[in-house]
Chains A and B, each alone.
Chain A
Amino acid sequence: MARALVHIAALIAASVAGAANADELVPYNIVSDGIAESLTGAPGDAARGRALVLARTTTCILCHSGPFPETRFQGDLAPDLSGAGNRWTVSQLRLRLVDAARFNPETIMPSYYRTDHLVRVGRNFAGKPILSAAEIEDIVAFLATLRD
């Protein structure tokens, strides 16, 4: 919650300055163990989300496996994503992607929508979240369809 407020403050400051920064994180509200509202204000696209999860650059399947018969390149550092939509609500999935450390401070799963508390981020990635708000929404929509 405190962090969400900081984001809002930063956003207001940016809009006062008049320059909309594309890298700026949109504010969000954490309620209990989730983020109930879409980061973009619109529902994501599950088909796009599936393609994103499968893309190496999105990094999910470095660690995870899932119902992806088309690729052998899946990891086993993390639970299989099959059935994730049964185990978690949409709101929990959204927070998990935004900042997995909220569920487990020791987790190796990156926080996909966070730019603070990072060390030596590569020049090309500095100040940017790993995924955009729209990409998060697409992936959340896809994960919600993973039901046993």
Chain B
Amino acid sequence: MSFWRAIAAAALLATGPALLAGEILPDARRSGYSFMGPDTRAMQDDDTSNPGMLFVLDGEALWTKRTGSADKACADCHGDARGSMKGVAARYPAFDKALARPVTLDQRINLCRSNHQQAPALPYESRDLLALSAFVAHQSRGVAITAGDDPQLKPFVDQGRDLFMQREGQLNLACTNCHDDNFNKRLAGAPITQGQPTGYPLYRLEWQTLGSLERRLRSCMTGVRAQAYDFGAPELVALELYLMSRAHGLPMETPAVRP
């Protein structure tokens, strides 16, 4: 090994989170996009055919709409989202000092609604919340994921990893059994991916609508006949955080399209 390569390797070891056996190596990480057929890829790539872009446009309209008893719009405080929101979604879930725990992008948006707009929280999976979160996350399209780097998040990343490795449900399967050990294989004929969270909220053809990462995780849990965690549950946030840290370096794709 050359001197420079040794230094590069040492630097990588020093900065990258330590991998456990079975976890996917950084340069082997692949977005779900790379597992899709050409038609679905083309649909994601072309903004005029990507159905997720309709939600992004709705979110853009909501961004400038005054609401709540504070009669403030997101834009009144955050200005042009193309600047202020660039890269934000790539580091969510992020640690919230006041709550002393990580919050998801959806939760952050609702905190702004209740704390800064004096408006009621938007329900999970409601069209407005998905639209706002798609609009905000879209500003990070192409930005490398860094969520989980904050050392305060470590215990929560660890909790998420434990949940990812834990067998559960009547079928007794862990996330890792499919998404670390068997990606590239076929479950009843459909390709299993690495379960990378790069494109959320995203348009799933099977759902015929946009959906959050939490919706996806809940359906994987239901698939193994486990009792899914409620939307916003600390366990679901921890899983989401672990998934984002596991996707470290992959570019954001919001709004992605998936079969």
Contact = CB atoms under 8 A, between A and B. Distances in A.
Interface of A: 56, 59, 61-63, 72-77, 108, 110-111, 118-125, 128, 130
B171 interface: yes
Given A111-B172, A118-B172, A77 B167 contact: no
- The binding surface of chain B is classed by DSSP as loop
Contacts of B168: 118-121
Contact of B227 (A59, A108, A123, A128): A123
Interface string B188-227: 1100000000000000000000000000000001100111
A119 B170 contact: no
A106 to B, nearest CB: 10
Nearest to B229: A120
A62 B188 contact: yes
Q: How large is the interface on B (under 10, 10 to 19, 20 to 34, 35 or more residues)?
A: 20 to 34
A74 B188 CA distance: 4
Contact of A75 (B167, B173, B181, B186): B186
Interface of B: 166-173, 177, 181-182, 185-189, 221-222, 225-228
B163 to A, nearest CB: 10
Contacts of B221: 120
A75 B189 contact: yes
Contacts of B167: 119
A128 B182 CA distance: 27
A128 B225 CA distance: 11
Nearest to A100: B172
Contact of A77 (B169, B170, B172, B185): B185
B182 A122 contact: no
A75 B178 CA distance: 12
A121 B185 contact: no
B99 to A, nearest CB: 25
A73 B188 contact: yes
B170 A63 contact: no
Contacts of A128: 170
